[in-house]
Amino acid sequence: MTDATPRQRWLLGPGHDCEPRTTGTRPYRLILLGAPGVGKGTQAALLSARLGACQLSTGDVLRGARTLDACDRSPAIAAALDAMSRGELVPDDVVLQIVRERVDCLRCGGGFLLDGFPRTLAQADALDALLAHERVELDAVVSYELPIPAIVARLSGRRVCPACKAVFHLETQPPRVAGRCDHCGTALVQRDDDRPEAVRVRMETYAEATAPLIDYYGSRGLLVRVPAHGAPDDVLRRTLGALDARVPAPSRA
């Protein structure tokens, strides 16, 4: 019996079933890497629609915890939310607990698109162990690349839907009705970690803690570098082309 969509299954955690989406292509199991704001979430949504694999964002799960009453938040989650709003990483043990609770999504026959995880070498090692235990292999790690000023412009214009998590941009992807989500009509908001001081911390943290993953996956032959300039559909085409070269999928349209 299914009671959630694949995306909700990831967001809500244990205790919910879902029906994997099928698109007629092989299941893809990918990690999307890249600096905050480079467009990983936007590409994850487009790739998910195209490949059927579910978008698994640790940031979305953590932001979901904000909707809990303050007294229902564990001390670890309260500390994690404070770290997020400052632009810092959430401790590895909190993130790994979130992922382990959702390990069914890594076993899913429809594949997955990990968006924002792993973000440290310790998380990458833990993911390796988890996937080995589940006998699941990664197909590729897509690294999106864009100069910092272009990334900052993407972050400053971003608006998000707190209900369905859709992402917009005031200039490049404006909603049809100003300030309202195209999909569910909810009022759009600006993320509190898109404030300039938090963006600065996020960029520094990325360079220090996450960028080393490029070499980590490069040395294992899994890295696919994709320039992230241009419109979202251009980046999608580039990503699919790069994936085809690495993981041929003759049945994909």
Question: Is 41 an interacting residue with respect to ligand AP5 (CB under 6 A)?
Answer: yes
Catalytic residue among 63, 158, 165, 238: 158
Active site annotation includes 158: yes
Question: Is 169 an interacting residue with respect to ligand AP5 (CB under 6 A)?
Answer: yes
Active site annotation includes 202: yes
Which one of residues 235, 238, 239, 243 is an interface residue with ligand AP5 (CB under 6 A)?
A: 235
Residue 155 Cβ vs ligand AP5, minimum distance, rounded to whole Å = 6
Active site annotation includes 200: no
- The string of DSSP codes covering the chain is ---B-HHHHHHH-TT--B-----SSPPEEEEEE-STTSSHHHHHHHHHHHH-PEEEEHHHHHHHGGGS-GGGS-HHHHHHHHHHHHTPPPPHHHHHHHHHHTHHHHH-TTEEEEES---SHHHHHHHHHHHHHHT----EEEEEE--HHHHHHHHHTEEE-TTT--EEETTTB--SSTTB-TTT-PBPB--GGGSHHHHHHHHHHIIIIITHHHHHHHTTT-EEEEE--S-HHHHHHHHHHHHHHHS--TT--
Catalytic residue among 7, 29, 40, 63: 40
Active site annotation includes 119: yes
Closer residue to ligand AP5, CB minimum distance, 22 or 97: 97
> Crossing angle of helices 232-246/40-51, nearest 10°?
60
Interacting residues with ligand AP5 between 85 and 124 (CB under 6 A): 87-90, 95, 116-117, 119, 123
Question: Is 10 an interacting residue with respect to ligand AP5 (CB under 6 A)?
Answer: no
Active site annotation includes 180: no
Which one of residues 84, 124, 161, 226 is an interface residue with ligand AP5 (CB under 6 A)?
A: 84
Which one of residues 11, 30, 37, 113 is an interface residue with ligand AP5 (CB under 6 A)?
A: 37
Task: Give the residues lining the site for ligand AP5 (CB under 6 A).
Answer: 34, 36-42, 57-59, 62, 83-84, 87-90, 95, 116-117, 119, 123, 154-155, 157-158, 167-169, 172-173, 193, 202, 230-232, 235
Residues with active-site annotation: 40, 119, 158, 191, 202
